[in-house]
Chains A and B, each alone.
Chain A
């Protein structure tokens, strides 16, 4: 789209903030605006033909109203600020929810529509002094890091005769993990060590309890005893102390990189769900054993960017 290349665009700063400047706003009549103009012309013809002054006055009043709408529509966007909060990473195939916070900056701004270029529109009335969060869906992204498409902020308020819009570019990358594949069993295992079985099906022996220490996974806290008003304890399992689970590229099933990545992703998700300590080995990097959301994110991020030379 050649036109889109030289349009005026509002660029968000590093924090994802942008204020809509007066000169960044485009405005054009809508289809209904054109119909309205045609209607006014017809009304004027009628008024002139019958030499009817109240009809003249009515026509001019509506023309003035339509003319003022240009300003009112434009004003509905001017000075509005937005802040792109970005999106939490998702697995490929899931829909990204990109969060943008809109602030009216001391003016009520009804019917402000926000969408990614060619995406699904979201519309909201922004109250005078309350910011509104909008979740823009973005589907069909492959694994990797993506720049969000251009945002289109538009409004037709008050009468729908004109549409004012502006483009906003926000450099808040969206991370998409590889799609999680099927649960698989490591070929070297005897069936006792599955990588990625369902939650709680692992057969490590319960070894006992110890007092909770900050950093312990919530999944391993003995909530039942805590509910009985005992101290907060963490359950220990006999297997884990011995060896962390290594999720290894070489063991992952799959013919090509992408299926392997999917398999590895599944293994990481399962391991995390089971509360295991795990590490990841790929041809390009080894991530040491660990557990918790941070570890999971680090591993999945590596897989997401694998082979894209971006890591």
Chain B
């Protein structure tokens, strides 16, 4: 059992590469671990580097034990024990660092390598992005190449990189099969909570808050429609509903009473799957109006979708919506809430509404709505991300002086105008629109699609959506905003307006990246209990028990071993002489060009015949036959010439005269 390699020293170059790779694989933890832990790792790494040529600089056994105890104390004091994940990662990082100080002979590399693999796994506990996965995969490939190099007598990493890549790709099929079959626990969709500042819609609306959000191009969520795609004017993604205003801010206010009425639900709702980016909030977004809630969430009395826990991780859910659904309930107390007014409303605003009331029929709230929309449309209102300062009475200033605003200005003031006119109204915030990814089958809704609109109560129709922004800038409903360009312009720039070759190339690349990222999420990160069952059902496996999986794996492994055994019985392929293969390729080329090229014909004869058929390539054909004959039968054939022959054959283009 003696291993002659184990006690050999680690070549200097390999050691340097090992240290560099481990440092790079540790680096993403800068965002997660306590600086003291990262510092400890950096110090041990540098220590090992300094001792590269003088192994006596490495600490002895007693010092190492002291360092280990010190590292444990450091981890506990800096990270604490409340988060097992953080403590575990910090301990792993420190132990890996200390192990580097023990790195003397080749056998020590095994353990370092294993710790490196585990380090990669801990990275996924904090970030599951495809880019990180790719980054770590490169690191793992290099680690394996290092191990391959160290498992040989003559070490060389560079030539082992390819071998490591092949080994990993060979492992992939088995890994994927296990990945698909390995039973997933039916645990809650949310894991361990991690708090992070996240951009996104907050639970209330300040004038300017959504405009601020619109400057972000970040993705809010992605949608895949099962079959039916709603038209752009229906793409309102409902979020929190706001009832209470103080003239500046809109807040949820009191939750309305849930009606006892059982709503009729349309037979064929629009079914879709949303993959929501972390929001840190409870609510989920759904197409207006959600009628089918995903598991572990519910539709509240505002017809908004609310999850059971805060969304701290990207997560997917399937919901169904009916755009024609009528929300027909409004209790007396809710009617009061929907008519609530801020303490101060300027006389100018009241006068405006009173003028409209005088001109319209009180029984026809639609006329009042039209008046208000006409007002926005007729007067010189500007749809802009930079509304300017609005002062102490923002609604008054906005309606009569600046007349510059973003959707929340229009929605907020419109709702107020309706309330003044006696029409119950409320503000809904969420997103509007979405772009189809041209390279994939999903739609992307960005923070720049954040939107606010209003709902007014009409006696026959119930809560009725009115989007005053559409009166000012109808194109907003059809096209997304170009957030980058709109910042520099006075007027909003819509995405379709932004042109230019580089612009479109860049956009194309961004879409591609989005498609890849979404695929990664859909098939790797989001592959949970439900999706696994769904997929297996497609293969005709209804219910998967542990024993079934075990049997399947056993059968699979047996088959794989049998296959390997059969392959091993086959005679090993003779690499041998590349010349016959080249000649075969050449004849194949001739045949493809429509000429007979029998195997028995000698090279000179064959090329002579070929030159008759393809006179333009005559000289090239002669050169090939000469080179081949010289290599094949010549006394002093230079093996380097084989490359030249290969090139000539590859470049040969046969055009019949």
Could you tell me which A residues sit within 8 Å of B by CB distance?
22, 30, 32, 35-36, 39, 42-43, 46-48, 50-65, 67-68, 71-72, 75, 78-79, 105-107, 110-111, 113, 115, 121-125, 156-160, 163
Q: Closest 9 A-B residue pairs measured CB to CB?
A: A64-B171, A64-B174, A60-B175, A123-B4, A110-B152, A65-B171, A61-B175, A121-B4, A64-B175
Q: In the docked arrangement, what's the CA distance between A267 and B416, Å?
A: 126
The 20 listed contacts between A and B (C-beta, < 8 Å) are: A35-B114, A39-B118, A43-B121, A51-B187, A53-B128, A53-B524, A55-B121, A58-B120, A60-B174, A60-B176, A61-B175, A67-B171, A71-B564, A106-B575, A121-B2, A123-B153, A125-B154, A158-B163, A159-B151, A160-B147
In the complex, the answer to whether B564 meets A36 with C-beta atoms within 8 Å is: no
The answer to whether residues A72 and B568 also contact, given A52-B125, A53-B128, A61-B175 and a CB cut-off of 8 A, is no
**Residues on A with beta carbons closer than 8 Å to the beta carbon of B3:** 30, 113, 121, 156, 160, 163
- Report the nearest B residue to A109, measured CB to CB: B152
In the complex, the answer to whether B572 meets A105 with C-beta atoms within 8 Å is: yes
Q: In the docked arrangement, what's the CA distance between A113 and B6, Å?
A: 12
In the complex, the answer to whether A50 meets B85 with C-beta atoms within 8 Å is: yes
In the complex, the answer to whether B528 meets A113 with C-beta atoms within 8 Å is: no
Q: How far is the CB of B519 from chain A (nearest CB, A)?
A: 13
Size bracket, chain B contacts:
35 or more
In the assembled complex, B433 has its CB within 8 A of some CB on chain A: no
Binding site secondary structure of chain B: helix
In the complex, the answer to whether A56 meets B120 with C-beta atoms within 8 Å is: no
- Report the nearest A residue to B565, measured CB to CB: A22
Contact of B185 among A42, A51, A106, A111 (CB under 8 A): A51
In the assembled complex, B133 has its CB within 8 A of some CB on chain A: yes
In the complex, the answer to whether B524 meets A60 with C-beta atoms within 8 Å is: no
In the assembled complex, B191 has its CB within 8 A of some CB on chain A: yes
- Report the nearest A residue to B109, measured CB to CB: A160
In the complex, the answer to whether B144 meets A65 with C-beta atoms within 8 Å is: yes
Number of A-B contacts (CB under 8 A): 148
Question: Would you list which residues of chain B between 114 and 169 have a CB under 8 Å from chain A?
Answer: 114, 117-118, 120-122, 124-125, 128, 133, 136, 140, 144, 147-148, 151-154, 163, 167-168
In the complex, the answer to whether A47 meets B121 with C-beta atoms within 8 Å is: yes
Q: How far is the CB of B292 from chain A (nearest CB, A)?
A: 25
Q: In the docked arrangement, what's the CA distance between A146 and B600, Å?
A: 57
In the complex, the answer to whether A65 meets B182 with C-beta atoms within 8 Å is: no
Q: In the docked arrangement, what's the CA distance between A92 and B501, Å?
A: 87
**Residues on A with beta carbons closer than 8 Å to the beta carbon of B163:** 158
In the complex, the answer to whether B167 meets A42 with C-beta atoms within 8 Å is: no
In the complex, the answer to whether B124 meets A55 with C-beta atoms within 8 Å is: yes
Q: In the docked arrangement, what's the CA distance between A106 and B178, Å?
A: 34
In the complex, the answer to whether A158 meets B148 with C-beta atoms within 8 Å is: yes
In the assembled complex, B231 has its CB within 8 A of some CB on chain A: no
Contact of B117 among A43, A106, A121, A123 (CB under 8 A): A43
Q: In the docked arrangement, what's the CA distance between A113 and B85, Å?
A: 43
Q: How far is the CB of B11 from chain A (nearest CB, A)?
A: 14
In the complex, the answer to whether B179 meets A60 with C-beta atoms within 8 Å is: yes
- Report the nearest A residue to B115, measured CB to CB: A39
Interface centre among A30, A57, A63 (most CB of B within 10 A): A57
The answer to whether residues A42 and B118 also contact, given A54-B525, A156-B151 and a CB cut-off of 8 A, is yes
In the complex, the answer to whether B568 meets A75 with C-beta atoms within 8 Å is: yes
In the assembled complex, B569 has its CB within 8 A of some CB on chain A: yes
**Residues on A with beta carbons closer than 8 Å to the beta carbon of B187:** 51
In the complex, the answer to whether A58 meets B110 with C-beta atoms within 8 Å is: no
Q: In the docked arrangement, what's the CA distance between A160 and B528, Å?
A: 35
**Residues on B with beta carbons closer than 8 Å to the beta carbon of A55:** 121, 124-125
**Residues on B with beta carbons closer than 8 Å to the beta carbon of A57:** 175, 179, 524
Q: In the docked arrangement, what's the CA distance between A110 and B148, Å?
A: 10
The answer to whether residues A110 and B133 also contact, given A39-B117, A46-B125 and a CB cut-off of 8 A, is no
Question: Would you list which residues of chain B between 521 and 578 have a CB under 8 Å from chain A?
Answer: 524-528, 564-565, 568-569, 572, 574-575
- Report the nearest A residue to B564, measured CB to CB: A71
Q: How far is the CB of A152 from chain B (nearest CB, A)?
A: 10
Q: In the docked arrangement, what's the CA distance between A111 and B148, Å?
A: 10
Contact of A113 among B4, B120, B170 (CB under 8 A): B4
In the complex, the answer to whether B525 meets A53 with C-beta atoms within 8 Å is: yes
In the complex, the answer to whether A106 meets B154 with C-beta atoms within 8 Å is: no
In the complex, the answer to whether B167 meets A68 with C-beta atoms within 8 Å is: yes
In the assembled complex, B1 has its CB within 8 A of some CB on chain A: yes
Q: In the docked arrangement, what's the CA distance between A58 and B124, Å?
A: 9
In the complex, the answer to whether B148 meets A159 with C-beta atoms within 8 Å is: yes
**Residues on B with beta carbons closer than 8 Å to the beta carbon of A42:** 118
**Residues on B with beta carbons closer than 8 Å to the beta carbon of A72:** 167
Q: In the docked arrangement, what's the CA distance between A115 and B575, Å?
A: 30
Q: How far is the CB of B507 from chain A (nearest CB, A)?
A: 28
Q: How far is the CB of A181 from chain B (nearest CB, A)?
A: 35
**Residues on A with beta carbons closer than 8 Å to the beta carbon of B5:** 111, 113, 123, 156
In the assembled complex, B24 has its CB within 8 A of some CB on chain A: no
In the assembled complex, B172 has its CB within 8 A of some CB on chain A: yes
Contact of B152 among A43, A65, A122, A125 (CB under 8 A): A125
In the complex, the answer to whether A60 meets B178 with C-beta atoms within 8 Å is: yes
Q: In the docked arrangement, what's the CA distance between A153 and B179, Å?
A: 37
**Residues on A with beta carbons closer than 8 Å to the beta carbon of B154:** 125
In the complex, the answer to whether B526 meets A46 with C-beta atoms within 8 Å is: no
Q: In the docked arrangement, what's the CA distance between A56 and B152, Å?
A: 31
Q: In the docked arrangement, what's the CA distance between A163 and B5, Å?
A: 13
In the complex, the answer to whether A39 meets B114 with C-beta atoms within 8 Å is: yes
Contact of B121 among A22, A58, A75 (CB under 8 A): A58
In the complex, the answer to whether A53 meets B526 with C-beta atoms within 8 Å is: yes
Contact of B110 among A32, A51, A125 (CB under 8 A): A32
In the complex, the answer to whether A115 meets B2 with C-beta atoms within 8 Å is: yes
Given contacts A35-B110, A60-B176, 16 further A-B contacts (CB under 8 A): A39-B118, A42-B118, A47-B121, A48-B185, A52-B125, A54-B524, A63-B178, A65-B171, A110-B153, A111-B153, A123-B5, A157-B152, A158-B148, A159-B147, A159-B148, A160-B3
